[in-house]
Amino acid sequence: MHRTAECLIHACPMTNPNAAVALLGKGGAMCSLLLIFMAVTSASSAPNSSRSRPSAHTTFYKTYINPRATGKQLIDHFMA
């Protein structure tokens, strides 16, 4: 195996940080770390917001639209 191919194989998992450091120095490494952190936190917050959203909608519906709604009416309204 050629030396360049071996270097590419070992560098693959860290391509983004390595490129950022090569182009921007230590600031590039920090930007890359921030970017990865934001992507992970964004991906992990999506399931939480999908769980909380239906309860917020049912509260709004029952408070402002139909205060006399029963549990079955709420389920029927949001499942339709």
In this predicted model, what pLDDT tens digit does every residue of 13-49 receive, in sequence order? 667 778 888 888 888 888 888 988 998 888 877 777 6
Q: What is the pLDDT of residue 8?
A: 52
For the chain, how many structural domains are there in total?
A: 1
Mean pLDDT of all residues in 51-64: 72
Cβ atoms 61, 69 nearer than 8 A: yes
What pLDDT is stored for residue 13 in this prediction? 64
Instruction: Indicate whether 11 pLDDT > 60.
Output: no
- Phi-psi domain of 2 (left: phi exceeds 0; alpha: psi -120 through 50; beta: other): beta
Structural domain span for residue 15: 3-79
Residue 76 has pLDDT above 70, yes or no: yes
- Is there a contact between 69 and 62 (Cβ–Cβ < 8 Å)? yes
- Averaged pLDDT score across all residues of the chain: 75
Nearest 5 degrees, angle CA 54-CA 50-CA 63?
Answer: 20
CB atoms under 10 Å from CB of 77, counted, come to: 15
